[in-house]
């Protein structure tokens, strides 16, 4: 649980999780990949965060390693979506421990 908590200890990462909860409300339509079925392109996430793609990718990789999001490669891009099952497990664990 420590890695999950560390992943959540960042404003940009919390924003990413919030935006990915309702990608249609937070991101424009994509040429490749459906926002809901495939996830959001890392380039759109970087733009919304107002940071370079390498910086945003660093945040995305931390969330992915913690199991909170999943990446899917389509062509040369990686699309991210929340892992709702893992997020629900983490919420239950936090509720039980606090």
Residue 8's domain is classified under what CATH number?
1.10.10.10
Domain that holds residue 64: 2-97
pLDDT in the model for residue 77:
93
Q: Cα separation of 34 and 41, whole Å? A: 10
- 49-86 pLDDT, tens digit each: 999 999 999 999 999 999 999 999 999 999 999 999 99
Distances (CA, A) of 35 to 7, 9, 21, 79: 23, 26, 11, 9
Q: Has residue 1 got a pLDDT over 80?
A: no
Q: How many domains is the chain partitioned into structurally? A: 1
Determine the Cα–Cα distance for residues 75 and 79; give it in Å rounded to an integer: 10
């Amino acid at each position: 649980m420590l890695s999950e908590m560390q992943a959540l200890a960042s404003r940009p990462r919390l924003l990413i999780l919030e935006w990915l909860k309702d990608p249609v409300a937070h991101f424009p339509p994509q040429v490749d990949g459906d926002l809901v079925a495939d996830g959001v392109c890392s380039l759109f996430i970087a733009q919304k965060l107002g940071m370079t793609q390498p910086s945003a990718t660093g945040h995305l990789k931390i969330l992915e390693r913690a199991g909170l999001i999943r990446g899917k490669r389509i062509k040369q891009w990686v699309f991210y979506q929340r892992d709702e099952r893992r997020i629900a497990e983490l919420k239950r664990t936090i509720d039980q421990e606090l």
